[in-house]
Protein backbone atom coordinates (compact mmCIF):
# COMPACT_ATOMS: atom_id res chain seq x y z
CA UNK A 1 0.00 0.00 0.00
CA UNK A 2 1.49 3.32 -1.00
CA UNK A 3 2.29 6.28 1.22
CA UNK A 4 0.60 9.68 1.16
CA UNK A 5 2.08 12.62 -0.67
CA UNK A 6 0.69 15.22 -3.03
CA UNK A 7 -1.00 18.54 -3.42
CA UNK A 8 -3.91 20.64 -2.14
CA UNK A 9 -6.17 23.01 -4.05
CA UNK A 10 -8.10 25.92 -2.57
CA UNK A 11 -11.71 26.49 -3.44
CA UNK A 12 -12.13 29.52 -5.64
CA UNK A 13 -15.48 30.99 -6.58
CA UNK A 14 -16.33 31.30 -10.24
CA UNK A 15 -18.55 34.01 -11.66
CA UNK A 16 -21.93 32.43 -12.21
CA UNK A 17 -21.07 29.04 -10.77
CA UNK A 18 -19.87 27.00 -7.84
CA UNK A 19 -16.82 24.74 -7.80
CA UNK A 20 -17.62 21.25 -6.61
CA UNK A 21 -14.81 20.56 -4.18
CA UNK A 22 -15.49 20.29 -0.45
CA UNK A 23 -13.26 22.44 1.78
CA UNK A 24 -13.39 22.86 5.56
CA UNK A 25 -11.17 24.72 8.00
CA UNK A 26 -10.87 22.66 11.18
CA UNK A 27 -8.83 23.55 14.30
CA UNK A 28 -5.84 21.22 14.63
CA UNK A 29 -7.05 19.89 17.98
CA UNK A 30 -10.11 18.43 16.31
CA UNK A 31 -8.25 16.70 13.51
CA UNK A 32 -7.26 13.06 14.08
CA UNK A 33 -3.52 12.23 14.10
CA UNK A 34 -2.02 11.96 10.63
CA UNK A 35 -1.17 8.31 11.04
CA UNK A 36 -4.88 7.63 11.61
CA UNK A 37 -6.08 9.65 8.62
CA UNK A 38 -8.45 8.97 7.05
CA UNK A 39 -11.09 6.57 8.39
CA UNK A 40 -12.12 3.73 6.13
CA UNK A 41 -14.14 5.10 3.23
CA UNK A 42 -14.93 1.88 1.43
CA UNK A 43 -18.56 2.11 0.22
CA UNK A 44 -20.82 0.72 2.89
CA UNK A 45 -23.57 -1.80 2.32
CA UNK A 46 -26.06 1.05 2.68
CA UNK A 47 -24.35 2.97 -0.13
CA UNK A 48 -24.04 -0.08 -2.36
CA UNK A 49 -27.67 -1.04 -1.74
CA UNK A 50 -29.37 2.19 -0.69
CA UNK A 51 -32.71 2.21 1.07
CA UNK A 52 -35.63 2.73 -1.31
CA UNK A 53 -36.35 6.07 0.34
CA UNK A 54 -32.87 7.38 -0.60
CA UNK A 55 -33.16 6.82 -4.34
CA UNK A 56 -35.48 7.95 -7.09
CA UNK A 57 -38.55 5.77 -7.25
CA UNK A 58 -39.14 4.20 -10.69
CA UNK A 59 -42.50 5.93 -10.99
CA UNK A 60 -40.80 9.30 -10.41
CA UNK A 61 -37.86 8.70 -12.76
CA UNK A 62 -37.39 10.45 -16.09
CA UNK A 63 -35.76 7.26 -17.41
CA UNK A 64 -37.11 3.83 -18.25
CA UNK A 65 -36.11 0.75 -16.29
CA UNK A 66 -33.66 -0.45 -18.95
CA UNK A 67 -31.78 2.88 -18.92
CA UNK A 68 -31.65 2.97 -15.13
CA UNK A 69 -30.29 -0.57 -14.94
CA UNK A 70 -27.71 0.15 -17.63
CA UNK A 71 -26.64 3.28 -15.73
CA UNK A 72 -26.16 1.20 -12.59
CA UNK A 73 -24.03 -1.35 -14.47
CA UNK A 74 -21.88 1.37 -16.02
CA UNK A 75 -21.60 3.17 -12.71
CA UNK A 76 -20.44 0.06 -10.87
CA UNK A 77 -17.78 -0.60 -13.52
CA UNK A 78 -16.69 3.06 -13.48
CA UNK A 79 -16.27 2.98 -9.69
CA UNK A 80 -13.25 0.70 -10.10
CA UNK A 81 -11.27 3.54 -11.72
CA UNK A 82 -12.61 6.45 -9.62
CA UNK A 83 -10.50 7.62 -6.67
CA UNK A 84 -11.21 9.58 -3.51
CA UNK A 85 -8.82 12.50 -2.98
CA UNK A 86 -8.43 13.61 0.63
CA UNK A 87 -6.30 16.75 0.88
CA UNK A 88 -4.80 18.46 3.91
CA UNK A 89 -2.68 21.58 4.47
CA UNK A 90 -2.41 22.95 7.99
CA UNK A 91 -5.93 23.09 9.38
CA UNK A 92 -7.57 22.96 5.96
CA UNK A 93 -9.15 19.67 5.02
CA UNK A 94 -10.78 19.00 1.65
CA UNK A 95 -12.21 16.26 -0.51
CA UNK A 96 -12.34 15.80 -4.26
CA UNK A 97 -12.71 13.12 -6.92
CA UNK A 98 -10.36 11.83 -9.58
CA UNK A 99 -10.31 9.06 -12.18
CA UNK A 100 -7.60 6.81 -13.54
CA UNK A 101 -6.82 7.59 -17.18
CA UNK A 102 -4.09 5.02 -17.82
CA UNK A 103 -1.55 2.84 -16.02
CA UNK A 104 0.21 5.83 -14.44
CA UNK A 105 -2.05 8.90 -14.57
CA UNK A 106 -4.99 10.25 -12.55
CA UNK A 107 -7.13 13.15 -13.79
CA UNK A 108 -8.90 15.67 -11.54
CA UNK A 109 -9.58 19.44 -11.47
CA UNK A 110 -6.91 22.11 -11.24
CA UNK A 111 -8.78 23.84 -8.40
CA UNK A 112 -8.58 20.62 -6.37
CA UNK A 113 -4.79 20.20 -6.37
CA UNK A 114 -3.04 23.31 -7.64
CA UNK A 115 -2.09 24.96 -4.33
CA UNK A 116 0.05 22.24 -2.78
CA UNK A 117 -0.29 20.28 0.45
CA UNK A 118 -0.70 16.60 1.30
CA UNK A 119 -3.04 14.20 -0.46
CA UNK A 120 -4.24 10.68 0.26
CA UNK A 121 -5.68 8.88 -2.76
CA UNK A 122 -8.04 5.96 -2.12
CA UNK A 123 -9.41 3.42 -4.56
CA UNK A 124 -12.85 1.86 -4.16
CA UNK A 125 -11.22 -1.19 -2.53
CA UNK A 126 -9.66 0.97 0.21
CA UNK A 127 -6.09 0.82 -1.15
CA UNK A 128 -4.00 3.96 -1.59
CA UNK A 129 -2.01 5.34 -4.53
CA UNK A 130 0.96 7.65 -4.08
CA UNK A 131 0.56 10.64 -6.39
CA UNK A 132 2.74 13.47 -7.64
CA UNK A 133 1.49 16.46 -9.57
CA UNK A 134 2.42 16.61 -13.25
CA UNK A 135 0.65 19.86 -14.11
CA UNK A 136 -2.52 21.79 -13.29
CA UNK A 137 -4.61 24.39 -15.08
CA UNK A 138 -7.47 26.55 -13.84
CA UNK A 139 -8.79 27.47 -17.29
CA UNK A 140 -9.69 24.87 -18.36
CA UNK A 141 -10.02 23.33 -14.89
CA UNK A 142 -7.87 20.21 -15.36
CA UNK A 143 -5.01 18.60 -13.44
CA UNK A 144 -2.89 15.54 -14.09
CA UNK A 145 -1.21 13.44 -11.40
CA UNK A 146 1.19 10.54 -11.78
CA UNK A 147 1.62 7.33 -9.80
CA UNK A 148 4.19 4.53 -9.83
CA UNK A 149 1.77 2.19 -8.05
CA UNK A 150 -0.27 -0.49 -9.75
CA UNK A 151 -3.70 0.88 -10.59
CA UNK A 152 -6.86 -1.22 -10.21
CA UNK A 153 -8.56 -0.14 -13.45
CA UNK A 154 -8.61 2.56 -16.13
CA UNK A 155 -11.37 4.35 -18.02
CA UNK A 156 -11.70 4.62 -21.79
CA UNK A 157 -12.43 7.98 -23.39
CA UNK A 158 -15.13 8.76 -25.91
CA UNK A 159 -16.07 11.83 -27.97
CA UNK A 160 -17.94 14.70 -26.35
CA UNK A 161 -18.40 16.25 -29.78
CA UNK A 162 -20.71 13.36 -30.70
CA UNK A 163 -23.11 13.74 -27.77
CA UNK A 164 -26.78 14.18 -28.60
CA UNK A 165 -29.10 16.51 -26.74
CA UNK A 166 -30.88 14.66 -23.87
CA UNK A 167 -28.51 11.68 -24.15
CA UNK A 168 -28.34 9.82 -20.80
CA UNK A 169 -25.04 10.31 -18.95
CA UNK A 170 -23.63 8.82 -15.75
CA UNK A 171 -21.30 10.29 -13.15
CA UNK A 172 -19.41 8.67 -10.27
CA UNK A 173 -17.92 10.74 -7.46
CA UNK A 174 -18.00 11.80 -3.84
CA UNK A 175 -20.73 14.35 -3.14
CA UNK A 176 -20.08 14.98 0.54
CA UNK A 177 -23.74 15.39 1.46
CA UNK A 178 -24.62 12.01 -0.07
CA UNK A 179 -21.72 9.56 0.21
CA UNK A 180 -18.75 8.12 -1.65
CA UNK A 181 -18.59 6.53 -5.11
CA UNK A 182 -22.13 7.75 -5.72
CA UNK A 183 -23.62 6.90 -9.13
CA UNK A 184 -25.83 9.64 -10.60
CA UNK A 185 -27.78 9.83 -13.85
CA UNK A 186 -28.93 12.76 -15.97
CA UNK A 187 -29.06 14.07 -19.53
CA UNK A 188 -26.76 16.05 -21.78
CA UNK A 189 -28.01 19.62 -22.00
CA UNK A 190 -25.72 21.06 -24.64
CA UNK A 191 -22.68 23.34 -24.61
CA UNK A 192 -22.14 26.66 -22.90
CA UNK A 193 -19.36 29.21 -22.42
CA UNK A 194 -20.01 29.97 -18.74
CA UNK A 195 -17.36 30.33 -16.02
CA UNK A 196 -14.74 31.62 -18.43
CA UNK A 197 -13.89 28.13 -19.59
CA UNK A 198 -14.90 28.48 -23.21
CA UNK A 199 -16.53 25.37 -24.63
CA UNK A 200 -18.17 23.68 -21.63
CA UNK A 201 -20.53 20.72 -21.41
CA UNK A 202 -23.74 21.14 -19.43
CA UNK A 203 -25.83 18.30 -18.01
CA UNK A 204 -28.62 17.60 -15.53
CA UNK A 205 -26.55 14.91 -13.77
CA UNK A 206 -26.99 15.50 -10.00
CA UNK A 207 -23.78 16.95 -8.53
CA UNK A 208 -22.70 18.43 -5.21
CA UNK A 209 -19.56 19.54 -3.41
CA UNK A 210 -17.06 16.70 -3.58
CA UNK A 211 -17.90 15.85 -7.20
CA UNK A 212 -15.05 18.01 -8.49
CA UNK A 213 -12.96 15.81 -10.78
CA UNK A 214 -15.67 13.20 -11.40
CA UNK A 215 -15.80 11.45 -14.79
CA UNK A 216 -18.90 11.99 -16.92
CA UNK A 217 -19.52 8.80 -18.92
CA UNK A 218 -21.89 7.51 -21.55
CA UNK A 219 -23.96 4.36 -21.18
CA UNK A 220 -21.17 2.66 -23.14
CA UNK A 221 -18.79 3.49 -20.29
CA UNK A 222 -16.66 6.05 -22.17
CA UNK A 223 -15.58 9.27 -20.45
CA UNK A 224 -16.83 12.36 -22.29
CA UNK A 225 -16.30 15.02 -19.65
CA UNK A 226 -14.61 16.10 -16.41
CA UNK A 227 -17.00 17.59 -13.83
CA UNK A 228 -15.80 20.84 -12.26
CA UNK A 229 -18.73 23.06 -11.22
CA UNK A 230 -22.45 23.64 -11.16
CA UNK A 231 -24.63 26.62 -11.94
CA UNK A 232 -28.06 27.40 -10.54
CA UNK A 233 -31.01 27.46 -12.88
CA UNK A 234 -32.65 30.84 -13.36
CA UNK A 235 -36.18 31.02 -12.01
CA UNK A 236 -37.37 33.90 -14.18
CA UNK A 237 -36.08 36.50 -16.58
CA UNK A 238 -35.02 39.86 -15.06
CA UNK A 239 -37.76 42.45 -15.37
CA UNK A 240 -40.60 39.94 -15.51
CA UNK A 241 -43.27 40.00 -12.83
CA UNK A 242 -42.68 37.32 -10.16
CA UNK A 243 -45.58 34.99 -9.43
CA UNK A 244 -46.24 33.13 -6.17
CA UNK A 245 -45.52 29.41 -6.05
CA UNK A 246 -47.95 26.84 -4.72
CA UNK A 247 -48.94 26.95 -1.05
CA UNK A 248 -47.15 23.83 0.17
CA UNK A 249 -45.23 24.05 3.46
CA UNK A 250 -41.72 22.93 2.48
CA UNK A 251 -39.19 21.20 4.71
CA UNK A 252 -36.39 21.04 2.12
CA UNK A 253 -35.53 22.62 -1.20
CA UNK A 254 -34.43 20.75 -4.32
CA UNK A 255 -32.17 23.09 -6.27
CA UNK A 256 -32.57 23.30 -10.01
CA UNK A 257 -28.98 23.30 -11.21
CA UNK A 258 -26.83 22.20 -14.11
CA UNK A 259 -23.52 20.37 -13.74
CA UNK A 260 -20.64 21.70 -15.82
CA UNK A 261 -17.93 19.58 -17.39
CA UNK A 262 -14.69 20.08 -19.34
CA UNK A 263 -14.99 18.16 -22.66
CA UNK A 264 -12.79 15.06 -22.71
CA UNK A 265 -11.10 16.26 -25.91
CA UNK A 266 -9.78 19.28 -23.98
CA UNK A 267 -8.55 16.99 -21.20
CA UNK A 268 -6.74 14.75 -23.69
CA UNK A 269 -5.08 17.72 -25.40
CA UNK A 270 -3.68 18.93 -22.09
CA UNK A 271 -2.55 15.43 -21.09
CA UNK A 272 -0.69 15.06 -24.40
CA UNK A 273 0.95 18.46 -23.87
CA UNK A 274 1.96 17.75 -20.28
CA UNK A 275 3.35 14.29 -20.98
CA UNK A 276 5.17 15.07 -24.23
Q: How far is CA 239 from CA 170, 232, 243, 265, in A?
A: 36, 19, 12, 39
Q: Which of 137, 141, 184, 204 is catalytic?
A: 141
For 107, residues 6+ apart whose C-beta sits below 8 A from its C-beta are 98, 99, 100, 101, 142, 143, 144, 145, 213, 215, 226, 267, 271
The reply to whether 111 belongs to the active site is: yes
Q: Which of 137, 212, 214, 230 is catalytic?
A: 212
The reply to whether 199 belongs to the active site is: no
The reply to whether 54 belongs to the active site is: no
Per-position DSSP letters for the chain, written without gaps between them: -PPP-B-------BTTBEE--EEEE--GGGSPPGGG-S---SPPHHHHS--GGGS--GGG-SS-HHHHHHHHHHHHHHHTTEEEEEEEETTEEEEEEEEEEETTEEEE-HHHHTT-BEEEEE-TTS-EE--EEEEEEETTEEEEEE--SPPS----B--GGGPPTT-EEEEEE--TTT-SSEEEEEEEEEEE-GGGTSSEEEE-----TT-TTPEEE-TTS-EEEEEEEEEEPPSS-TTSPP-----PPPS-----EEEEEEEHHHHHHHHHHHH-
User: Is omega for the bond preceding 140 within 30 degrees of 0, making it cis?
Assistant: yes
Catalytic machinery residues? 111, 141, 212
Amino acid sequence: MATRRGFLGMLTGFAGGTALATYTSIPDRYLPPREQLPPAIRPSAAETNPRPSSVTRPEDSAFDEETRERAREVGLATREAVVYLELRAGNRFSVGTGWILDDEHVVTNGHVVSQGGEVTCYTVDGDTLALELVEASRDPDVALLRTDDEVPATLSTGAAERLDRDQPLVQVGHPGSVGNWIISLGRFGGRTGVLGSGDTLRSSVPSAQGNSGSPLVTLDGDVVGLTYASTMGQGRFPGSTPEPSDDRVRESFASNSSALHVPVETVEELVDEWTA
